[in-house]
Amino acid sequence: LTDRLSGILDRLTRRGALTEADVAEAMREVRRALLEADVALDVARTFIDRVKERAVGVDVVKSVTPGQMVVKIVHDELVAMLGADAQTISLAAAAPVPILMVGLQGSGKTTSTAKIAYRFTNRDRRKVLMASLDTRRPAAMEQLATLGTQTGVATLPIVPGQSAVQIARRAMEAGRLGGYDVVLLDTAGRTTLDEALMAEVAEVKRAVDPHEVLLVADALTGQDAVVTARAFDEALGVTGIVLTRLDGDGRGGAALSMRAVTGKPIKLVGVGEKFDALDEFDPQRIANRILGMGDVVALVEKAAASIDAEQAQKAAERMRKGQFDLNDLKEQLGQMQKLGGMSGVMSLMPGVANLKKQLAGANLDESMFKRQAAIIDSMTKAERRNPDLLKASRKKRIAAGSGTKVEDVNKLLKMHRQMADMMKMMGKGAKSGRGPLAGL
């Protein structure tokens, strides 16, 4: 795709904003790439519309071609649509936490159940019980029992003649009595959607009130996966998706379609037949895969780096003039989050090695960046430009608006003050030749 896009757009050597014509032509290629990756038609259409809306009029940054610029926008939008923040299975409920696995036959439910059980047991040190509700095929129960032996996870003893609901109730009871943390319920699946199956699973759902209903879907089924996802979600209220066979040749289009159609997060992906072949969902990787892999990654990163560098330069300029306000801080936080540490502007400033070390030790995790960004987002424009406006009542409003505490707002303001002071100092130092590095 990149090559094709470059062919079209790199002929345009002029600089300036992307025009409607540039974007329209590029989008034809993007559309083709999406369909080749097995993205559902209407999902592709929606996606293209969104990208168009975003791309027209965007300035082409120096040192990047219009083609690269478009690729970056497509890539970013793809990641956003896939769900930028990673989500995992939630166990935040009273033990034993029931998790219901649903999906078509052959989608990988039983395998995924064992993989998840294996992970909870060995990585998270949880006590897990697995139960097969597949009353239609006796072999299915045996299959889970065998997997249980292989993974060292307990399975509910098989009692012939019980219905799915009876087994589910028995599993929960065994879970309570045995002090289990999690009970994974593996259900039967038909090769196609059928009402009787849905009704049965819905009844199980009512009986055990699962904390998660995970839809297991085969990435290789492409378009069909979407129909399945919609039906399961309507009937059962899916809370998350496990996408299997991402180790296959499928190009990941199913991920985008599933996510777009159900709005439900993809929580895990299956990447093989072994117990540990289970990964967290990585939107970046899937986006690269859909776009046609290989050099797209490097290209986009290069483009992004130039954009960051340019923004950094501008911000550094403002800092030197002592104009570091909360808008600048937010941009910095975004950069830090992206780069996983102190970088960007700070590395352009002299004498920051110490501060870097301090910040690195200060436990800068993702959630903190997000919280801080949320705090700044809850401020008015005027407040961001002039933090001195922030008295108690305003702080309270901001804390409420961002779902944080006044204490968090104060911490952020303190951090801003420190950074601003330091920058002013360094700015002066640099001018008068008495900077932290002067004399070296």
Q: Annotated binding residue at 105?
A: yes
Q: Interface with ligand GDP includes 276 (CB under 6 A)?
A: no
Q: Annotated binding residue at 340?
A: no
Residue 245 binding partner per list ligand GDP, Mg ion, none, with a CB distance cut-off of 5 to 8 Å that depends on partner kind: ligand GDP
Task: State the residue number with the nearest CB to Mg ion.
Answer: 110
**Closest approach of Cβ 191 to Mg ion, in Å?**
12
| Site size for Mg ion (CB under 5 A) | 3
**Closest approach of Cβ 247 to ligand GDP, in Å?**
5
Considering only the stretches 243-251, 320-328, 334-342, 376-384, report the one whose residues sit in contact with ligand GDP under the rule CB under 6 A.
Answer: 243-251
Q: Annotated binding residue at 256?
A: no
Cα 5 to Cα 20, 66, 85: the distances in Å are 15, 9, 28
**Closest approach of Cβ 246 to ligand GDP, in Å?**
6
Place of tokens 């038909």: 190
In the structure encoding, which two tokens stand for residue 122, read together?
């060995």
**Closest approach of Cβ 88 to ligand GDP, in Å?**
17
- β-strand 154-155 against 182-186: which pairing, if any? unpaired
Decide: 112 and 103 in contact? Cβ < 8 Å. Answer: no
Q: Annotated binding residue at 372?
A: no
Residue 73 binding partner per list ligand GDP, Mg ion, none, with a CB distance cut-off of 5 to 8 Å that depends on partner kind: none
Restricting to residues 102-131, name those near ligand GDP by CB under 6 A: 103, 105-111
Closest CA to 317 of 430, 237, 170: 430
Distance CA 44, CA 253 (A): 10
Decide: 147 and 118 in contact? Cβ < 8 Å. Answer: no
Q: Which letter, b or e, does each residue of 320-346 get, where b requires 16 or more Cβ atoms within 10 Å of its Cβ? A: beebbebbbbbbbbebbbeeeebbbbb
Place of tokens 């999406």: 34
Burial of 210 (0-12, 13-18, 19+ CB in 10 A): buried
Binding mask 115-154 for Mg ion (x = CB under 5 A): -------------------------x--------------
Task: State the residue number with the nearest CB to ligand GDP.
Answer: 270
Q: Annotated binding residue at 178?
A: no
Considering only the stretches 12-20, 89-97, 99-107, 195-203, report the one whose residues sit in contact with ligand GDP under the rule CB under 6 A.
Answer: 99-107
Q: Annotated binding residue at 134?
A: no
- Tell me the residue length of the chain: 440
8-state DSSP, 379: S
Binding mask 322-361 for Mg ion (x = CB under 5 A): ----------------------------------------
Restricting to residues 154-213, name those near ligand GDP by CB under 6 A: 189
**Nearest 5 degrees, angle CA 9-CA 14-CA 17?**
80
Decide: 422 and 355 in contact? Cβ < 8 Å. Answer: yes
Q: Annotated binding residue at 246?
A: yes
Q: Annotated binding residue at 110?
A: yes
Q: DSSP letters along 269-320, please?
A: EE-SSSTT-EEE--HHHHHHHHHT-THHHHHHHHHHHHHHHHHHHHHHHHHH
Q: Interface with Mg ion includes 110 (CB under 5 A)?
A: yes
Q: List binding-site positions for GTP.
A: 103-110, 186-190, 244-247
Give the footprint of ligand GDP on this chain (CB under 6 A). Answer: 103, 105-111, 189, 216, 244-245, 247, 270-273, 277
Binding site for Mg ion (CB under 5 A): 109-110, 140
Could you tell me which residues are annotated as the binding site?
103-110, 186-190, 244-247
